[in-house]
Structure 1
Amino acid sequence: MDLSTQHVLVTGGAGFVGSHLVDRLLADGATVTVVDNLSSGSRDRIADDADFVEADLTDPDALDGVLDGVDLVFHLAASKLVDTDRPHGQFEDNTQMTLNLLEAMADADVTKIAYTSSSTVYGEAPRPTPEDFAPLEPISAYGASKLADEGLLSARAHSHDLTVWNFRFANVVGPGLRGAVIPDFIEKLIEDPESLTILGNGRQEKSYLHITDCVDAMLHIVATADDAMNTYNLGTRTTTSVDRIAAIVADEMDLDPDYEYTGGDRGWTGDVPKMRLSIEKLAALGWEPSLSSDEAVRQSTRELLDELR
């Protein structure tokens, strides 16, 4: 698929991943419409060349007329907080958004959707985790909602004229990221350069994928995979521990803080302590990340320091 000729709708396009995706789509020549309720995204992130619709996708009428002339949907809108105090509400919101979007797409005869799922659908699985690992047993309501959405999309793909590209992300990092370990460490060390509080025991270890690689991988999959349901892991072949992230951030800030740990083998309820996705299926499609996990963390640290200092 040549996206330069397409009209693309991006739900959640005012968020971290969504805004980077919108910028890349526009640079590639696509026409882009963004739908976002701005609950966690920012209007300032959306490029002037994109059309913007402020709407809440939990409203069944939110997309009335919005999908006219759209060729492809990237569905990123979701409640993303893993350690939420309203797990049932989060599950209902996320699945309702996807159901409403699918109904609106059917009404507008839009037959192509790319969906951003998550490594959290696997739960605490052996590593590296391939796409065909089973059973899928998420340990958070967020992961459960992503798995439920995958089921909704799969059912439509196999029973209706719908093509689905389903992306299971590792941890995505880069400029504009907030509410995650790298910006958290930077903000803590700006406030107190002498000490750093680390959630858990510091030995949690996961893959970190830079946002430029993430967007590039998504677009590569959409351009080259053509089954009804196309599920791919997006990540790196390497991992980085929380202690290693702390060391990289401290090194880039030229600091030597003392570490204090909150204890336990995970940072919060629903946290998966160890995660590395197999990307062999993606590699067979002709794509490899340009940065390792450590390199993605270091580059993101430098980019975020420019923003947060």
Structure 2
Amino acid sequence: MHVLITGGAGFIGSHLCDALLAKGHKLTAIDNLVLGRKENIFHLLGGNDFEFIEEDLLHEKAMRDIFKNGKFDMVYHLAANSDIQKGGKDPMVDYNLTFNTTFHVLQYMKEFGVKKFFFASTSAIYGETYDVLDEDYGPLRPVSNYGAGKLASEAFISAFSLTYQIQTWITRFPNVVGERFTHGVIYDFIHKLQKNPAELVVLGNGEQCKPYVYVKDLVAGILHVVEHATDPYNVYMLGSDTRTKVKEIAAMVIEEMGLEAKIKYTGGDRGWAGDVPEFRYDLSKVNRLGWKAAYTSNESVRLAIQKALGK
């Protein structure tokens, strides 16, 4: 197929580019390089089956030209504001970069007759709950602007899928870690310790507990869902059925960096406004489809730390 990937130079998007090219697809990757990095896809540039376009999804004329000329068979939409703290400071960030980008892509697909769509969603749509989360859990009450933008996106995707006969796959990610990441707890801890090797300041009480998945594991899950789920509208959770506490991540980073730093907690049950202290996934639906993460949450975290440190 000729596939369009939005956010193709980003952390997850660039790994998806690698995987789709390995399967023989022709790719066009679009990224505005706000969070994405060209070096993530530098090894792909110049290939016969890969094209990179630096463009903003909200630039309608440019995007219509891209869709008109591309004649795409499928869109993988990963472009979004993935920095939840940044979006919490300014609601327009997630309105534009998380929701409005999705709405525009759907409009382009409708206009140019693209009939297959993948959307990268998130656990943040659920909000704050201590229940085990599955695909049918409700009510959905996001507590971050990022989660709200993704949930609004899912609503419009559902409507477009039914109204315009667009076959859709949605996967809801947990915390994703691995090489090429640009933010997140591991990234922050490493950079803090590089500045002050004697002390690591951890936001919250360290008891925040979430599932983490290694990025290549996640990409394998995405492709498995797209290749094996055949309904007109498909929604699946992806991730690990194990979890890791923030204090465990802090200890692993200190250990892997060979330091003896002391950990200082700022207190409270969360790191910032919009941070969900704890969640867990029920992955039985995707397990029945034949996919299970290769790494546990702790294994994913340690592997990501090692990759970030060049080990």
TM-score, L = length of structure 1: 0.94
Output the CA distance in 2 between the equivalents of 1:263 and 1:88. Answer: 29
2:80 is equivalent to residue 78 of structure 1: yes
**Contact 2:75–2:118 (8 Å) recurs in 1:** yes
The equivalent residue for 2:215 is: 211
Aligned 8 A contact 2:181 2:187 in 1: yes
1:114-172 Cα deviation digits (max 9, x unpaired): 00011000001234211100000000111000000000000111222101101110000
Partner in structure 2 of residue 3 of structure 1: none
Q: State the shift of 1:89 in Å.
A: 4.3
Is 1:38 the counterpart of 2:33? The answer is yes
Q: Out of 286, 302, 307, which is 1:303 matched to? A: 307
2:5 maps to 10
Separation in structure 2 between the aligned mates of residue 95 and residue 180 of structure 1, nearest angstrom: 21
User: 2:111 & 2:155 partners in 1: Cα distance?
Assistant: 20
Where in structure 2 are the equivalents of 1:1-309 lying within 5 Å? 6-46=1-41, 47-48=44-45, 49=47, 50-67=50-67, 68-83=70-85, 84=87, 85-306=89-310
Among the aligned pairs, what percent are the same residue? 42
Q: 1:258 corresponds to which letter in structure 2?
A: K
After TM superposition, give the deviation of residue 192 of structure 1 in Å.
2.0
Query: How far apart, CA to CA, are the structure 2 residues paired with 1:61 and 1:111?
Result: 21
Whether the 8 Å contact between 1:127 and 1:278 is mirrored in structure 2 is no
After superposition, give the CA deviation of every residue in 1:258-291 in whole Å (9 maximum; x if it has no partner). Answer: 1111111111110000022111111010000000
Report if aligned partners of 1:207, 1:235 keep a CA contact under 8 Å in 2: yes
Distance in 2 between the 1:145 and 1:90 partners? 6
Unaligned runs of 5+ in 2: none
Q: Could you give the per-residue CA deviations for residues 41-92 of structure 1, whole angstroms, max 9, x where no partner exists? A: 1122122132011111122223123233211110011122212221144224
Gaps of 5+ in 1: 1-5
What is the letter of the counterpart of residue 64 of structure 1?
A: R
Give 3-state SS (helix, strand or coil) of 2:66's partner.
coil
> Which letter does structure 1 place at the counterpart of 2:78?
L
Q: Give the secondary structure class of the aligned counterpart of 1:166.
A: strand
1:152 counterpart SS class: helix
Q: Which amino acid aligns with 2:195?
A: E
The residue matched to 2:230 in structure 1 has which SS? coil
Instruction: Return structure 1 stretches of 4+ with deviation > 3 angstroms.
Output: none
- Which secondary structure does the structure 2 equivalent of 1:182 belong to? helix
CA distance in 1, matches of 2:62, 2:209: 39
Between the two proteins, the alignment pairs up a number of residues equal to 302
Q: 1:200–1:267: 8 Å Cα contact kept in structure 2?
A: yes
RMSD: 1.3
The alignment's TM-score, normalised by the length of structure 2, stands at 0.94
CA distance in 1, matches of 2:276, 2:118: 25
Task: Assess if the C-alpha contact under 8 Å between 2:205 and 2:269 holds in 1.
Answer: yes
Deviation at 1:183, TM superposition (A): 1.7
